[in-house]
Amino acid sequence: MNQKISIIIPVLNEATRIRALLAELSDSPEKSDVEIIVVDGGSQDESVAVAKEYPCTVLASNPGRAKQMNLGAEAATNNTLLFLHVDSFPPTDFKSFITSGLEHSGKSWGRFNVKLSGQQWLLRIVSSMMNWRSAMTGICTGDQGLFMTKAVFDAIDGFPDIPLMEDVEISRRLNTLSKPLVIKTELATSSRRWEKEGIVRTILLMWQLRALYFFGVSPAKLALRYRPSCD
C-alpha cells in the first residue's frame, strides 16, 4: 500500500492563515510522505505569493470550494486524499493515523474528531456535539478533515459542484459505501465564526441551514444566508 498522502487546501483571501498552516505542515515529521496542493479561488490578497514560499503545488481555480477541491484531487499524485480547510490543523501524526486506519479498518474514507480553537467552555460542548452528530449520522463536515482513497473519490465523481453543503452531499455518497472511519485524535479548527457571530447564533444558523437543505432548499439559496456571516 502506498503510504503517501496528497493534501488539498482550497484558499480564498487567506494569506495569514495559509502561512500558518503551511509552516506547520512543513515542520511535520511526516512531510516527506505528503504532497501539498493549494488551490486558489482568485484571491485578491497575498495568498498565492505566500503559498509559493513553501514546498507545495499552487493551482488557480474558479472560486467555489467544491471546484477547488476537485481540481486539487485531479492533480494529486498519491492514492490517499486529505481535504483540509485553511484554518484546520491536523494532529502531528495525521498521515500515520489515516493510512494505518484505512488499512486496518478496510474502509475507504473517514474524518477526524474536531476541537474548536477558542477557550470558551461552550465551544467544548459545540465540538462534542459536532463529533457526536457525525458519529450518529455518518455525515461529516469539511472542518473535520475529510479523507478518502483517490479511487473512491473518483468512483463517486468527487464533490458535487454546489456553493454550499458539498461536504454533506459527498458524505451521503460515501455512506452508500461504508460508514466513515473516525480518528478520535482531534484536529484543531478555528472558532473564528463562532466567536465573531456568537456561539448560540451560529449553532442556530447551522441547524437551520442543514434543516432547509434536508427539505430541499437549493444550496445556492442557502449560500446567500451563510456567506454574509463569513469573514
- For 101-152, the pLDDT digits (tens) are 999 999 999 999 999 998 888 899 989 999 999 999 999 999 999 999 999 9
CA 89 to centroid of chain Cα atoms: 10
Bridge partners for 57 per DSSP:
37
Residue 228: what residue type? P
Residues near 147 by Cβ (< 8 Å), separated by ≥ 6? 5, 80, 81, 82, 83, 98, 102, 109, 110, 111
Query: Residue 31 domain-assigned?
Result: yes
Percent of the chain exceeding pLDDT 70 equals: 96
Query: Residue 227 domain-assigned?
Result: no
Q: Which residues of 107-122 are buried (b: 16+ CB within 10 A; e: fewer)?
A: bbbbbbbbbbbbeeee
**54 closest CA partner among 89, 81, 27:** 27
In total, how many domains does the chain have?
1
Query: Residue 173 domain-assigned?
Result: yes
| pLDDT value at residue 225 | 66
Query: Residue 120 domain-assigned?
Result: yes
| pLDDT value at residue 114 | 96
Residue position matching grid coordinates 478518502: 148
Query: Residue 223 domain-assigned?
Result: no
- Any idea what the CATH number is for the domain that residue 28 is in? 3.90.550.10
CA distance 149 to 177: 12
Query: Residue 225 domain-assigned?
Result: no
Q: What is the domain range of residue 81?
A: 5-193
Q: Which residues of 34-55 are buried (b: 16+ CB within 10 A; e: fewer)?
A: bbbbbbbbebeebbbebbeebe
Query: Residue 25 domain-assigned?
Result: yes
Per-residue pLDDT averaged across 69-80, rounded? 97
Per the CB < 8 A criterion, the answer to whether 84 and 76 are in contact is no
Mean pLDDT over each residue of the chain, to the nearest integer: 90
| pLDDT value at residue 196 | 79
* Residue 176 DSSP one-character state: T
Query: Residue 210 domain-assigned?
Result: no
pLDDT level of residue 230 (50, 70, 90 thresholds): very low
Is 97's pLDDT higher than 90?
yes
| pLDDT value at residue 229 | 42
